[in-house]
Amino acid sequence: MSGAVGGMDWSEYTQIRRFVELGTGGALAFMVGGATEVAAVAGQLRRDGFRVESVDVAARSGGWGVTVARRVRVAVDRLCADLVVVTGFDAVRTGRAVTVLDGLNLNRDAIIGRGCPVLIVAPGPVIDRFARDAPDLWSVRSHVFDFTEGGTA
C-alpha cells in the first residue's frame, strides 16, 4: 500500500502498526501528536481489523494522579484490545501534570503488564516531561514515534 494516513506517510503508519503487532506481550510507546494524528492512526488500524480502545486522561471524575493511573489500569485490564491509546495530556494543567505523571509512573507495571500494547499520545513538551518526571515509566518504553517535522521516529 502507499499513500498517507492523516498527514503521515504510509511507512510511518507501518511503524506504529508493527508496534501493535509485536506488542501483544505488553508494550509501551509514546507518540508526539494530538487528536488529528490519533484519529487517523486509530481509524486506519480499525480498518485494518485491529481493536483500538481509548482512554482520555482529561475526562476525569474525582481527583487526579492515582485516579488517572487507576482509570488507565482499569481500561487496560477491561479493554485489553489490540491497542489502548491514552490521550488528553494536552488538557492537563501544569500543576496537575506532575500528579498525573507520578500516578502513571508508580503504576507502570500494572499498566504494561496486562499483555496489550499501550500508546501514550501527547504534544512534544509533554512527552519531554514524561522523560524527565516519570523515569520508571519512560524506562520501559519500546518506541517514541515523532512524525512531526524535524522529529525522529
Stretch (H or E) spanning 15: helix 10-22
pLDDT band at 136 (very low <50, low <70, confident <90, very high): very high
Stretch (H or E) spanning 18: helix 10-22
Q: Which residue has the higher pLDDT, 21 or 35?
A: 21
Residue 146 predicted with pLDDT over 80: yes
Q: What pTM, to 2 d.p., does this model score?
A: 0.84
- With beta carbons less than 8 A apart as the criterion, state whether 131 and 44 touch: no
Q: What is the structure's pLDDT at 54?
A: 84
Helices (H), 23-133: 35-47, 66-79, 94-106, 108-112, 124-133
Report the alpha-carbon distance of residue 63 to residue 48 in Å, rounded: 37
Q: What is the structure's pLDDT at 5?
A: 67
- With beta carbons less than 8 A apart as the criterion, state whether 44 and 5 touch: yes
With pLDDT > 90 as the criterion, what percentage of the chain qualifies? 26
Q: What is the structure's pLDDT at 64?
A: 46
With pLDDT > 70 as the criterion, what percentage of the chain qualifies? 75
Q: Are strands 27-32 and 52-56 parallel, antiparallel or unpaired?
A: unpaired
pLDDT band at 115 (very low <50, low <70, confident <90, very high): confident
- Tens of pLDDT, residue by residue over 44-87, are 999 999 989 888 877 654 554 456 667 677 767 766 678 888 88
